[in-house]
Structure 1
Amino acid sequence: MFEFITDEEERGQVGIGTLIVFIAMVLVAAIAAGVLINTAGFLQSSAQETGEQSSSQVSDRLQEVDTTGNVSGSVVDKVNITVTQAAGAGEIDLRNVTVNWVGPDGTYTIVHDSVGDGATSADSNFSVTELKDADDSSPVLNDPDDRLKMTFDLGDGNKPDELGEGEEVTIKVNTMSGATTTIRFTVPQSLDGKQGVEL
């Protein structure tokens, strides 16, 4: 009539319960570990990508080599800026460069002349001439030895206006990666009898 449970049977039931709890804990820990590993991998790739972008913003910039002006009468009607890669910079395509020109007659946005009128709201265009380009990659700077000339035609229907004696200009050259190079120059106080000047 009465059925007695022995100590051995009770211990067996407790052991099975403990085993089930242990297996459940192991499964939960495995799932949590998988989530943590995936999250760590995602964060690492995001951090690496952010680091590369930040590095490009600092290093992928232009370096000014020389700035000259073409003189017509008593004004400068053309500005030529020779550029190269800054130290540690990667490839820089001048077709993707945006120039912010701040001069005595206002502020202008200037882009490469290959950019069509419908594709931009820029005020004007600049052209590029290769001075030194061993692999004919112009208008892309891909070697520290490359030298390309950016030419800005002023006035005569173009913006900005021609520059007079003693006038100052600041331009900011922004590459596609977001790096900025600031170039400042001043027209000499006297242009009489000159055809070209160092700015």
Structure 2
Amino acid sequence: MIVENPTNDDTRGQVGIGTLIIFIAMVLVAAVAAGVLINTAGLLESTASDTGSDSQAQVSNQVDVISAIGHDNDTDGTVERLNFTIKKSAGSSNIDLENLTVNYQSDAASQTLNFTSGDANAVQFNTTELTGDGDNVLDDTDERFIVTVSAQTIESGLSEGGEATVTFVDQSGASTIYGVNVPDTISGEEYVSV
């Protein structure tokens, strides 16, 4: 008995130069797409890392205000100058005081102050080093500086019972807010804790 194997002409493979060109084109498109995806993933990783570092700096780079003293040189019941003793908080990076910004806000005035090494009565702030290495940079938690703000220049001084908010913003954008409350009676006193 003779048995014929059935043939199926529909299952034959395509062989030829056209098929080879299409195959190579598909491989090239896949390679380009993979390259774009790898490049995009690397860019996103780098951006996320930078954003994370900036966010960490804004949270951890803090200025600690140890004490604040108001000066009433004329003993007229008006605080004319504010001295803030500051240090860098634990875990902070170096804080350059020349890039520090001090924002002064009260009911009567609002002023942004920048660093100056000159006159304390200018509408700026200045620093005095208590302990440190003389470079106007808080790079150790043992260093102490006095930041002097002239309330007299900004708003003719803070009167008895007056309030102000002073915000210290460092180079990374981290901020420390300190509330100033002048006692109700300061007549005859040269130095007042605020």
Q: TM-score, normalised by structure 1?
A: 0.80
The match for 1:188 among 183, 186, 191 is 183
Contact kept, 8 Å, 1:105 with 1:161, in 2: the verdict is no
The one-letter code of the counterpart of 2:62 is R
Unaligned runs of 5+ in 1: 1-10, 116-122
- In 2, Cα distance between the equivalents of 1:12 and 1:188? 95
Once the two structures are TM-superposed, the CA of residue 86 in structure 1 deviates from its matched residue by 2.3
Structure 2 partner of 1:132 = 131
Q: Give the CA RMSD over aligned residues.
A: 2.2
Q: Which residue of 1 aligns with 2:5?
A: none
Query: Residue 44 of structure 1 aligns with which residue?
Result: 45
Cα shift at 1:159: 1.8
Residue type at the aligned position of 2:129: E
On the 8 A contact 2:117/2:127 being kept in 1, the answer is no
Read off the aligned partner of 2:48 and give its amino acid letter. A
SS for the counterpart of 2:114 is strand
Quick one: structure 1 residues 69 and 13, their matched pair in 2 at CA, closer, same or farther if it must change by over 3 Å? closer
Q: Paired residue for 2:86?
A: 83
Question: Pick from 83, 88, 111: which aligns with 2:114?
Answer: 111
Residue matched to 2:72: 71
**Per the alignment, in what secondary structure is the counterpart of residue 176 of structure 1?**
coil
Superposed, 1:1-199 pairs within 5 Å as: 14=15, 17-72=18-73, 73=75, 74-114=77-117, 124-133=123-132, 135-137=133-135, 139-155=136-152, 158-199=153-194
CA contact (8 A) 1:171 1:183 kept: yes
Between the aligned partners of 1:167 and 1:12, the Cα distance in structure 2 is: 91
What is the alpha-carbon distance in structure 2 between the residues aligned to residue 88 and residue 145 of structure 1? 13
- Could you tell which deviates more after superposition, 165-174 or 97-106? 97-106
Paired with 1:19 and 1:76, the residues of 2 have a C-alpha distance of 87
Percent identity of the aligned residues?
43
Does the 8 Å CA contact 2:96/2:137 hold for their aligned counterparts? yes
